[in-house]
């Protein structure tokens, strides 16, 4: 299965790099590589992680990596990374805003 990053997810990753780089530029790059690796690995078993509780109807799943949450959707032929957000954020407001 192909893994596709949405524009929002790419922007999220850039913001994560910028934030971590303020204190540790080297770690910023390696951490985002880890996040991307976790996203890419979803191609092999995309249904391994649960749907977001209370929002199952949206078909958005969540994978945890450290303090970050990878939100994604499984389509017929691809996995779409929707957002990558810090766990302290109100993700429902970002993902399910009306």
- For the chain, domains (ranges, CATH) are 2-95 (3.30.2310.20)
CA pair distance 28, 54, nearest whole angstrom: 32
pLDDT of residue 88 exceeding 70 = yes
Q: Average the pLDDT over 71-94 and give the result.
A: 94
- Quick check: 8 pLDDT over 70? yes
Is pLDDT above 70 for 98? no
Q: pLDDT digit string (tens) for 37-63?
A: 999 999 999 999 999 998 889 999 999
CA-closest candidate to residue 20, choices 84, 64, 83: 84
DSSP string, 20-88: HHTT-HHHHHHHHHHHHHHHHHTTT-GGGSPBPTT-GGGTEEEEEETTEEEEEEE-SSEEEEEEEEETT
What is the model's pTM? 0.93
């Amino acid at each position: 299965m192909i893994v596709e990053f949405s524009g929002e997810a790419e922007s999220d990753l850039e913001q994560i790099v910028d934030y971590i780089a303020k204190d540790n530029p080297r770690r910023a790059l390696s951490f985002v590589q880890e996040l991307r690796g976790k996203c890419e690995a979803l191609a092999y078993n995309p249904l391994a992680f649960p749907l977001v509780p209370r929002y199952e109807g949206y078909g958005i799943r969540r994978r945890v990596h450290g303090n970050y949450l990878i939100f994604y959707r499984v389509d017929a032929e691809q996995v779409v990374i929707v957002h990558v957000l810090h766990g302290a954020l109100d993700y429902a407001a970002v993902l399910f805003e009306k």
